[in-house]
Structure formats: structure tokens, C-alpha cells
Amino acid sequence: MLKFILLGLLDYRAMTGYELLGWINVSTGNFWHAKLSQVYATLKQLEGDGDVISHVEAQESKPDKRVYTITEAGRAALADWLATPITEHEVKKDGLLAKVFFTSPDEKDALLSQLRLQLKLHQDKLSEYRQEAPAAIGQMLAEQPELAMHAYLWEATRRFGEMYETMYIAWLQESIRTLSEQLP
Amino acid sequence: MLKFILLGLLDYRAMTGYELLGWINVSTGNFWHAKLSQVYATLKQLEGDGDVISHVEAQESKPDKRVYTITEAGRAALADWLATPITEHEVKKDGLLAKVFFTSPDEKDALLSQLRLQLKLHQDKLSEYRQEAPAAIGQMLAEQPELAMHAYLWEATRRFGEMYETMYIAWLQESIRTLSEQLP
DNA sequence: TCGCTCATGTAATGGGTTACATGATTCA
DNA sequence: TGAATCATGTAACCCATTACATGAGCGA
């Protein structure tokens, strides 16, 4: 539900669609992401539902921008979503696991090289969670010092990313080792 | 791509849509899932593309069934997909993390009880990976002993589920502990 | 001069969920 | 008697991606 991600961010402060995507990329990118086109489409839908309102601001030496502000109805919708607990186990989808599952056992070398490529991708992501992500939290706090208490929650989600990538790397290393022994 | 999951399963043996969903639930459910309606729709699409063919079989005291068989073109499409490496970091989506991120810091109690509910869900899932999942692999091997080499690959994906749930539980426990101290 | 940042959107298509519609057999 | 299993599908809708379309300013 990108809808709620946008409402959550607009609850911090009014922003344009372009700015929203910037925040998504540095903060919620860990657990939710979107394309700019979807951000604009969703904002339009939110405005139609009365959850946000917008106005156009002219700028010097930059294009005009449309700034979105959350409404009371929008705050209520957000609070409602936050208060609704998730009671089912959320199912993940992972294309790599699908390939591992269905690879033909005689394609051992191709599989192992795909796993080694993944290892590099996940190691890079891990160092991002350890370096860029804490910096992004600091940046957000610098812009909005009143959100200090929120930083603990942001940190918890960053920490998830760190633990997830650590686990993924451990699984890749274990799998590379055991499959290289087990497959013919 | 449910398409490739279905081709992968049909490469083991010919099956009906209903049977395919049964296998998805006990084997690939870990990394890919689908609704029955989507399975039927995707099979129809695959048949239109020439990747599978089907025929109807009459049964005693059961409804007629339509059995799908993979074609040479389907095998080629599957091999092609398997050979194409994933070169980008796959982005996950997680509704719980979204809620943690955007929860108001003064909703501490509501948040903690949502995290405790999740803890139970993930603990149940972990024991499923430790009990039902190995049994399902044994079951698949009993039905198709010629797939013995595939079992190493299936086990690798089962192991991912086990490690993922273990990590998720550790994160939940850590977050419950630290947030209950940090939030007011 | 080339690519990046800022800035906005629409249209077509694809992938997936929910709801609808049907019906026999078997087991508790 | 009621629920579960077996068995098939369609239609409407929602969410998301890709492609298209435009354009100024700035720094290398």
C-alpha cells in the first residue's frame, strides 16, 4: 500500500511527489519502494479521496512544483491503518530461491556462479545499511529535529535490513559450500 | 513469474491446475505462492503460448480433470529463464516494517502488542519449516524417486525459510526489548 | 555538449486478488 | 448435517511497471 507510505511521509511535512520519492529511496526503500509514475498516480488518487490537498508553487530557476498536504481525513486513514494489526504470516516472493529450486542439478556451475553474483549484491547492500542508512536517519533528524522519537522506529527498520542481509549472506555462503559438494 | 513456477513443476510431471496448487503450497510456498484462480488463468496463457498442452481425463466418482503437459517450447522457456542471472538486488516489501516505521512514538503499547503477535506467527512458521517442510520433501521424493538430486536444491530453499524465520524472530525480540526501553 | 537534478504527468500493459458460479463425494 | 476435498473456470478490480512526453538549469 504505497498510499499509506505517502500519507506517513506527508504526516511529517508537506512535500511534492518528487520529494516523496527521494525520502522513499533513502528511508523506506528497505521495506517499500515505488516508481515516480506510481507516486504521482497515487497522489492523484489520494487527492480524489480527500486524504491530501495540493497547491502549485512557482519557483525561480526551477520548474513549478505541486506541494501535497495531508488532511484530517488523511491522518485518520493513516491512524486506522496503523491500528489494524497484521494477523496473517506475510508471504515473501524471491526469484532467486525459485531459480535454486528449479535449476537442473547438472547445471551446477551456472547455479554456483549465480549464487556468487548474489553474494556480491547482498554484501554491497549490507554495507549500505551500515553506512548510508544511519547517515540518512541523521539527515532526516537534522531537517526535522522534532521527529527525534521517531528515530528509534526508523533505526529498528534499518536494523532489520542489516540483519536480513547478514542472514542472506550466511545462507548464500552455506549453500555455495554444501551444493558444491552435493551436486555431481 | 508464476509462469515459470508452473513450468518448473510440470517439468517434474504432468499435472492439473488443482494439483499444481497443492505442490506450490507444500514446496514453493516458501518463496512463491498463488491463488487457484491465477493458476488456471496462467495455465490458459501458457497453453496459448504453446508452452504446455492439455487434455481432459474422466474420473470415477470425481470431477473430470484437465491435465497439463509441458512442451519442448515450454522446456526451452524454462531453461532460458533459469539461465538468466538476476543482476539487481531484489527489493522486498514488508507491511509490518512499514507500520513500525510510521507508528506514532506515543502508540508504544499498540506497537509492542503487534510485535508480540508477529512473534507468535513467525515462531509457528519456523516450526513448520522444521517439521512439515522436511516431510514434504520426503513425500515428493517418495512419489518421484528419480528427482533425488533435486532434493538438495529443495533443501537449500527450505533452509532459507528456516534461517529467515530465525532472523525475523531475533529481530522481533530485539525490537520489543529496545523499543520498550526507548519509547516514552 | 553531455548527463544529472529538478519537476510533472499519461497510457498501455502485466501481474495478482477478490468475488462470483457450480457441483459431486467423503468423512466426522 | 455440515465441512473438507476434488475440480473447473470467469469477471471485475487493484496495484505496479514500462514506455512515452516535456523541459529548464547546472556542472564537468
A103/A91: higher pLDDT? A103
pLDDT at A58: 80
Look at residue A63 and tell me whether its pLDDT is greater than 80. no
Look at residue A61 and tell me whether its pLDDT is greater than 80. no
Helix (H) or strand (E) holding A54: strand A52-57
Helix (H) or strand (E) holding A82: helix A72-83
For strand C, which residues in window 76-95 of chain A come within 7 Å by CB?
93
B97 and A8 within 8 Å at the Cβ level: the answer is: no
Over the stretch B141-155, which tens digit does the pLDDT of each residue have?
A: 988 899 999 999 999
pLDDT at B58: 80
Please report, to the nearest 10 degrees, the dihedral formed by the alpha carbons of residues B102, B104, B108, B112 taken in order. Answer: -20
Look at residue B169 and tell me whether its pLDDT is greater than 90. yes
Q: What is the arithmetic mean of pLDDT over A48-65?
A: 88
User: What global pTM score does this model have?
Assistant: 0.95
Over the stretch B4-61, which tens digit does the pLDDT of each residue have?
A: 999 999 999 999 999 999 999 999 999 999 999 999 999 999 999 999 999 998 877 7
What are the residues with a C-beta under 7 Å from any atom of nucleic chain D? A 1-3, 33-35, 37-38, 41-42, 61-63; B 16-19, 22, 36-37, 40-41, 43-44, 59, 62-67, 93
Over the stretch B90-142, which tens digit does the pLDDT of each residue have?
A: 989 999 999 999 999 999 999 999 999 999 999 999 999 999 999 899 988 98
pLDDT at A48: 96
Coil/strand/helix, residue B68: strand
Look at residue A75 and tell me whether its pLDDT is greater than 90. yes
Over the stretch B81-91, which tens digit does the pLDDT of each residue have?
A: 999 999 999 98
pLDDT at A62: 76
CA of B22 to C1' of C23 (A): 21
Minimum-distance nucleotide, CA of B1 to C1': C15
A179 and B152 within 8 Å at the Cβ level: the answer is: yes
Distance of CA A99 to the CA centre of its chain: 24
pLDDT at A22: 95
Task: Dig out the grid coordinates for A86 from the structure.
Answer: 497484521
